[in-house]
Amino acid sequence: MGKLVMRRLIAFCLIGLSLALGSSPEVFAQAARRADPFQLAPQRPGQTDVYILSFGLWGPQSVFESEARGAARILEAQLGAKGRSIVRSNTKRRAGATPETLVAAAEAAGRTLDPAEDIVVLVLTSHGAPEGIALVAGRDTRLVTPGDVKVLLERTRAQHRVVIVSACYSGVFANALADARTLVITAAAADKPSFGCRDGATWTYFGDAFFNKALRRDPRLDTAFESARGLVTQRERREGFDPSNPQIAGGSQVLERLNAR
């Protein structure tokens, strides 16, 4: 790609900075309750079930809807989560991943799973900024911060969580949320853009490498991530981009539970 295309891609990723100026704090803590539209398979006592919440947040570009759907489909297959996923996206014509919808999905999972036994996987894909990830649902534009994501995780009640964020500067979520019971995987470091957010594409660069390639071959999140990081770095260097430096942090207890299944 040429330097002009590269500058345009980075500009898209930086749009979230302007959204932050109009974003109210604790978006998800303030989201109103709504009727629960979700159907989830029940948890199975004595087994570690995985519940997947996957959201494409940026409506103006179809790649994020495509990635949210594809990520959920592959995670479902590789983690044995059939019937236990919720996928919602914003599009040019539909506001499907509003703050209210995300809260309702998290609470639906929280009413279904066993907090001590089961695992929630939260996938967010959109443009990003150093403060968080952008949500554009129709005329509603917000910046989703690590604090907002923490609220969502709390609404699920799950004690073991995985957060996967595909966006520029998404390493901010790893810095803020990762601990022994929270595994965080991000497309970029906190000070780096990521690439591939083109309208009409099926995946971003990170989504293609992690979900579409590495995770299809290897159901272990940690080793699949290491493979994906190498694929992303090779592609970025080949196309003239500075490496986005995808991140993985925390989650020792989560990985132990996943890998023992």
Supply the pLDDT for residue 27.
Answer: 64
Q: Answer whether residue 75 shows pLDDT above 80.
A: yes
For residue 39, with 0-12 CB atoms within 10 Å meaning exposed, 13-18 middle and 19 or more buried, which class applies? exposed
Helices and strands: H and E segment counts in the chain: 9, 9
Domain 7-34+45-259 falls under CATH 3.40.50.1460:
yes
Q: Mention every residue, 6+ apart, whose C-beta is less than 8 A from residue 176.
A: 146, 147, 150
* pLDDT, position 48: 96
CB neighbourhood size of 33 (10 A): 9
Express each pLDDT in 8-36 by its tens digit. 444 444 444 444 334 444 566 666 555 55
* pTM of the predicted model as reported, rounded to 2 decimal places: 0.90
Residue 1 CA, chain-centre distance (Å), reads 26
Indicate the residue type of 254. Answer: V
Across 210-223, average pLDDT: 98
What is the rounded average pLDDT of the residues 172-190? 98
